[in-house]
Amino acid sequence: MRSEVSRAGELLERFDRQVRCRPQGERVEHAEGVIRVFDAGWVGVAWSGLTAASAGAVIAREVERFAGLGPWEWKHYSYDAPADLADRLRAAGFVAGAEETLLAADIVDLHLDSPLPDGIVLRDVRDAEGVEAFLRVHGEAFGEPPDADGGWLIDAIRAGRQAAVVAMAGDRPVCAGRVEFHPGTDFAGLYGGGTIPEWRRRGLFRALVARRATIAAEAGYRCLQVDAVAASRPILEAMGFRRLASTTPFLQP
CATH top-level class for 106-245? Answer: alpha beta
How far apart are the C-alpha atoms of 47 and 197, rounded to whole Å?
35
- Per-residue pLDDT tens for 12-44? 999 999 999 999 888 999 999 999 999 877 999
- Per-residue pLDDT tens for 181-203? 999 999 999 998 999 999 999 99
CATH 3.40.630.30 boundaries in the chain: 106-245
Question: Which pLDDT score is estimated for 148?
Answer: 58
pTM above 0.75, yes or no: yes
pLDDT tier at 2 (50, 70, 90 boundaries)?
Answer: low
Buried b (16+ CB within 10 A) or exposed e, 7-43: bbeebbebbbebbbeebbbeeeeeeebbbbbeeeeeb
